[in-house]
Structure 1
């Protein structure tokens, strides 16, 4: 493996083997452009686009990742290979001082933006431990999983317009709730605001035409890369509104994603067998190739003017349904997916209480508390709390990270009387 000429700290999320994509700008140049992370710097792909094959140059000069996403895995591999060469010792970027001064920028000097123009956003419900926990809370252990859950990847269509990049504050929502014991709803600020630890992936490749489907073992060609996600959830609003069509305003208040998109190529060393599925699924969902990953995930909560506390540690491998099965099911009706569409995992919970991916589970529907540093406790999120999600893979000394996905809760707007 080549060695980067850019210094990379030992604990960095961003070695030469990673090179996650992002969209950035600087104070001196507010135009959005593509980059990859390397150590504590980024490589401006627009500034070095002339060093790539001509068919790739337009995509690297774009203001979002959508065009690159549309080119497919052969183009992605070509960009990755050339980028690694440009960041290796002895490369033209290292030797050309003028080019290096323009193209290599400290991360401390950049602002990060949404990596793509998101056309559509779908959120799944793919963790069996999370689905079981929620089912036990609301239906009892005997009816924890609905009859369809082990037969298809349950999902719903989310709101693409309120997907925001890490660091964007989230306003506590107003909405209808039904107080305990009441027979009429009231209007006011959400009292049971929650996070959901998720991961998401961007659709790439040409997609599929309306009326056509994507076969499960071909679907890997449509996975461009992964991000961290926090699907903010207003539990009291959700409880009142979700019957019969599922979540609506309880989920559209905001969805935070990390700015870095880690490619499937970077994740290959961390491939695992798929989660065992019983009973056997229908033929169109029978996946013969592995597409599960050993990605360590964690959630920290930081009250205002205080230190953050680690409150959960989970792993991507706990997902029952794979991204390939999600794509196959999403398109089996002929629904067309497009480059830049975002597909989310649903809350990722492990088997143990310290690996639950939401406060709803960690506090078991408000019957317990989460202990924070300094003696503070939480059942649900308070104003000015910040939620920070992090993720990384480690194997044989190689660390591939996702950066962080963070957002702070702002107070609700006053209710008009």
Structure 2
């Protein structure tokens, strides 16, 4: 047995306790929590009898499906167990483990919830329009349905996508690798328990269904996207890959990070109204080949995660354990708070300097890492880990 100590400034102390799936030396994947720089096997910590058999699963889905009351119970049990002596065989240094995709993703929807991001893109693409936002934007959380199969865990290389594109000087569309490959720094939210087809999740009840949050990079081929998206929206420009962080931060750990959303004017329709619409005070950083280039603030997001889930189900669409919905690009009012390179470089017209070189969009070999922190309990900050991907040449 081992007594674990955690530095006071650790982003993964007892007030965080995220969930992930790990393996060691090719063993079967199992469920773990993280304490400082260790993965703690939950089956070996809490046992695997009865309801705890879910900790031997290769994804978090069986545990998430047990529901919110069980999430509360397990979180308390983990905290109590880690304050005492821990079985030595349950403790693994993060340097010795392989982290896996933590959930089996059922469905995936991506939203467009940042007014700053939507306004910047409106100014870029519709410079003559006095209102950069589309008429529906402040009435509903705009989103598109993506491909769950292309969501990968942090550390997975991303192959440059190919597709049709048509630049301003091209007389006809051409086919080839994307030359305007971009990122979108987002948060992703994971549905723990869903709703039956034909029913809805009310905005004020959404948190009963949301298990946790991850960092989310919605890789975007802007040239493919620009040619294809009218009239039905993103498809191949988005569907090739999205990366999530390996550790799922429970919503129970993010209670101190709750903040009010910006004033929603005009008043939203009744199904989107909440007693107290909440956002999250999460500070992100985007590193491009090791250099921090932007710091997007999630607290600026116009639409609440709860409103996004309520909107997803208002037409009676079902959600399932493992569904992921993402916030869309997180951007703040300042240039160094923009969460996509199409904004940061103003469509490529204003390059930024990365490690001494002027850059606009991603080149082969580039590596992007998202990190984030948020207020936790007892005045501490909690971390989300890393969300990293490296670009490989087109195949």
Aligned match of 1:109: 96
Q: Please give the per-residue CA displacement for 1:167-191, whole angstroms capped at 9, x wherever unaligned.
A: 0000111111102232310011110
Rounded to whole Å, the distance in 1 between the matches of 2:22 and 2:47 is: 19
Q: CA RMSD in A?
A: 1.4
Aligned match of 2:110: 123
2:138 to 125, 147, 150: 150
1:6 to 1, 4, 10: 4
Q: Does 1:365 align with 2:347?
A: yes
Cα displacement (A) at 1:55: 4.7
Q: How does 1:383-398 map to 2 (within 5 A)?
A: 383-394=364-375, 397-398=379-380
Cα displacement (A) at 1:276: 1.3
Task: Output the TM-score relative to the length of structure 1.
Answer: 0.91
Cα displacement (A) at 1:108: 0.9
Counterpart contact for 1:6–1:39, Cα < 8 Å:
no
Aligned match of 1:23: 21
Rounded to whole Å, the distance in 1 between the matches of 2:8 and 2:341 is: 33
Query: What SS class does the counterpart of residue 227 from structure 1 fall into?
Result: strand
Rounded to whole Å, the distance in 2 between the matches of 1:106 and 1:309 is: 27
1:84 to 74, 79, 83: 79
Query: What SS class does the counterpart of residue 144 from structure 2 fall into?
Result: strand
Rounded to whole Å, the distance in 2 between the matches of 1:297 and 1:354 is: 11
Aligned match of 1:202: 190
Distance 1:219 1:55, change over 3 A: farther
Aligned match of 1:73: 68
Counterpart contact for 2:330–2:338, Cα < 8 Å:
yes
Q: Does 1:252 align with 2:239?
A: yes
Aligned match of 1:44: 41
Aligned match of 1:285: 272
1:163 to 151, 154, 165: 151
Q: How does 1:288-327 map to 2 (within 5 A)?
A: 288-302=275-289, 308-327=290-309
Task: Output the TM-score relative to the length of structure 2.
Answer: 0.96
2:168 to 173, 176, 180: 180
Q: Please give the per-residue CA displacement for 1:372-412, whole angstroms capped at 9, x wherever unaligned.
A: 22x21210011100000000014664010000100000011
Counterpart contact for 2:372–2:384, Cα < 8 Å:
yes
Counterpart contact for 2:20–2:33, Cα < 8 Å:
yes
Cα displacement (A) at 1:360: 0.2
Rounded to whole Å, the distance in 2 between the matches of 1:377 and 1:85 is: 51
Query: What SS class does the counterpart of residue 392 from structure 1 fall into?
Result: strand
Rounded to whole Å, the distance in 1 between the matches of 2:240 and 2:153 is: 14
Query: What SS class does the counterpart of residue 280 from structure 1 fall into?
Result: coil
- Uncovered stretches (5+) of structure 1, i.e. residues with no partner: 95-99, 303-307
- Uncovered stretches (5+) of structure 2, i.e. residues with no partner: none
Rounded to whole Å, the distance in 2 between the matches of 1:408 and 1:340 is: 25
Q: Please give the per-residue CA displacement for 1:241-286, whole angstroms capped at 9, x wherever unaligned.
A: 1111001000011000000000111111121112210000000100
Aligned match of 1:136: 123
Query: What SS class does the counterpart of residue 300 from structure 1 fall into?
Result: strand
Cα displacement (A) at 1:290: 4.1
1:219 to 206, 214, 226: 206
Q: Does 1:403 align with 2:377?
A: no
Aligned match of 1:305: none
Number of paired residues? 392
Q: Does 1:60 align with 2:55?
A: yes
Query: What SS class does the counterpart of residue 85 from structure 1 fall into?
Result: helix
